[in-house]
Structures are given as C-alpha cells and as structure tokens.
Chain A
Amino acid sequence: MREFAEIWSYLAASPLIWLSATLIAYLIGDALAQAAGRAPLVNPVLVAVILLAALLWGTQTSYATYFEGAQFVHFLLGPATVALAIPLWHQRHAVRRAFLPVCAALLAGSVTAVLSALAIGYALGLSPQLLATLAPKSTTAPVALGISESLGGSPTLTAVLVILTGMIGAIVVTPLMNALRIRDWRARGFAVGVAAHGIGTARAFQVNPQAGAFAGIGMALNAMLTAFLAPWALGLFL
C-alpha cells in the first residue's frame, strides 16, 4: 500500500479532487437546505463556501490550486446566464403584461441600491476610491468589475462586495417580503434580481419558477442600467 501523503500529493495536483469537493460541498449544502425546509439562512451557497473554505484552510491548499478544479463549475456561469432567456421566454406574456411595474421596479430598485450604498458609505467616511468600489455592488459580477474599474475603484474588492451582497439578498428576501406582506411572485423575484443579481436569482428559482424568471430579467436589466447610473450617482458624493 502506498503512503497516504504520496496519494494525496498526486490527487491534490489534479483538478479532479477540487471539482469533486465543490460538487460534494454543494450537495451537502443543498441537502441541509432541504432538511431545513429551505430556511433562508441555510443557503446552499453559503454552506458550501464555508465547508470548502474550512477544507482549503485545513489542507493548506491555495485558492489558485482549488480554482484549477473549480473553474469547470465557474465557467458554467456564462452559459447559465444565456440560459436565463428560457424562463424569460416561457414567461414572456406575463412580462409583457407587467411592463410598467417592471420599469418602475427597475428604476426604483436600481437607484436605491446605488444611492443608499453611496450615502451610507459617505456618512461612514469611506474614501472616494472605496465609494467607487462599492457603487456597483448589486450588479452581476462581470459588469460590476468593469464599472468599478472605470470609476477608479478596486475590482477585486468589488468582487467580494458583489458576492456578499448576493448572499445577503438571498438570505434576507423571503423574511423581508413576508414581513412587508408582498405576495406577488413577480415583484418578489424582480426585486431580488435587481438588488442581489445571480445569487438572488438562484434563490428565487428555488422558491418559485415565476419569481425566478422575473429575477433573471431584473438582474439583466439592472446590469445595463447600473452601468449608466453609477457614474452619475458617484458624482453626487465627490
């Protein structure tokens, strides 16, 4: 029998182990979420991230090594974004009927997301560079990085803020909407897509297919609007 360390050093160098670990961690997270009756706080992404972070820390594995395996999952974000056209197409009549509410919610949600973040950050004394980093935090990651960079922010820090915003939105949306007595799935989904991009959209799909479809539209429209909105909003605080 070979030494464990020898087998480990072989496996640790191949993408297979971290790809498998990512899927297993997610399945554990998903099983826990199901067991918890889809309780908002037991978010499968959050559980999987905590498990994997602990595993990387425990095995002294660098993120670069981990990502060699995980990139195959990460890559699918692009095709998945394209695939959001499918629920949108199936809900196209509902979306056309809700044209005015969609426009209103997009404008209100997007402006609130950017302005409230900048206003609170400004009140806390964040530097102009940190405000620029913060401005696109509700936008889907690739767009947010581009906006942050063009405004003079730090794209890597923006990526962190974007993911955290997504998780906060996914956790908070169900109890918040219940407390506000907003039962319209279209409104709930659209708002979480605007405020918490893809992670919010993933949560919406778990709760209701119509909420998921509207969340996908909210995410896509907000990405485009924020690109125009963020420079203007940042100008108000400089």
Chain B
Amino acid sequence: MIHALTLILACQLAGEALTRFFGWPAPGPVLGMALLFALMLASARLAALVTPTGEGILRHLSLLFVPAGVGVVGHLQQLGAYGLGFALVLVVSTVLALAVGAGAFVAVARLTGDKGDRDA
C-alpha cells in the first residue's frame, strides 16, 4: 500500500513540476494521471501493485468534494443579484451538455457499427 501511495504521489509531483516548468494549461494531477497511465501500460506488474490502493481512494471520490462544497455555501451570496440567472444557466447548460454529449457518443457508436461492450 505504501508503495502504491508513493507511486501515486510521485506521479502527481512530477505532473505539478512539469506543468509549472513548461507553463502548460493542464493541472498537475491531470498530467500525473497521464503519467501513471503510461507507467501502467509499460508494466503490468506495476499496474497490479497500484490497483487496490488506487481503487480504495476512488471508492469514496465523492467525500473529497465535501470541503470545497462547504466553501461554496459561504460564497452563495456572491452570486448576488444574478443568483436566479446563474441557476438557470447552470441547469439548462448542464442538461444540454449531458444530452448532446451522450447523444453524440451513441450516434457515432452506431455509425461505426459499435455494439458496445456486451462481451466485457
């Protein structure tokens, strides 16, 4: 577990260092994710090592958003006069993005003769 945790943190650290160094718009952890993925592709042993710990962290991914969510409550009045307008924008735009995104996925999957992963 300590090995897996070290590997994950090292990937994040390398990701943070690289984005800072090159001034990339991608955040450090996203680059760290790409890095860890590359390492797992390179070594199946490493993939097996990191899987249980990583899945443990991800099992309660929701929990990790709670502190930031509590921070939002204090800032709700910042929405100010536009509160209702913002609410409308967020709900409509999110519903549209979900519907169009999933619709595009299904449509292109059908066009390319992809039947999904019934076998997986």
Contact = CB atoms under 8 A, between A and B. Distances in A.
A12 interface: no
Contact of A194 (B72, B86, B90, B101): B101
A100 B28 CA distance: 27
A102 B82 CA distance: 35
Nearest to A26: B63
Contacts of A82: 8-9, 11-12, 15, 29, 32-33, 35-36
A180 B69 contact: no
Interface residues of A, number: 114
A85 interface: yes
Interface string A119-158: 0110010100010001001101111001100000000110
Contact of B66 (A25, A100, A105, A194): A25
A186 B100 contact: no
B2 interface: no
Contacts of B69: 45-46, 48-49, 163, 167
B62 A26 contact: yes
A124 B89 contact: yes
A80 interface: yes
Interface of A: 22-23, 25-26, 30, 43-46, 48-49, 52-53, 56, 63, 66-67, 70-71, 73-74, 76-90, 92-94, 97-98, 100-110, 112-113, 116-117, 120-121, 124, 126, 130, 134, 137-138, 140-143, 146-147, 156-157, 159-161, 163-169, 172-173, 176-177, 180, 182, 184, 186-188, 190-192, 194-196, 198-199, 201-203, 205-206, 210, 212, 216, 218, 220, 223-224, 227-228
25 contacts: A23-B63, A45-B63, A45-B65, A49-B70, A63-B74, A71-B67, A74-B64, A78-B32, A81-B29, A89-B41, A92-B41, A97-B117, A100-B112, A101-B109, A126-B85, A130-B82, A156-B75, A163-B68, A164-B86, A164-B90, A166-B65, A180-B103, A182-B102, A191-B102, A194-B97
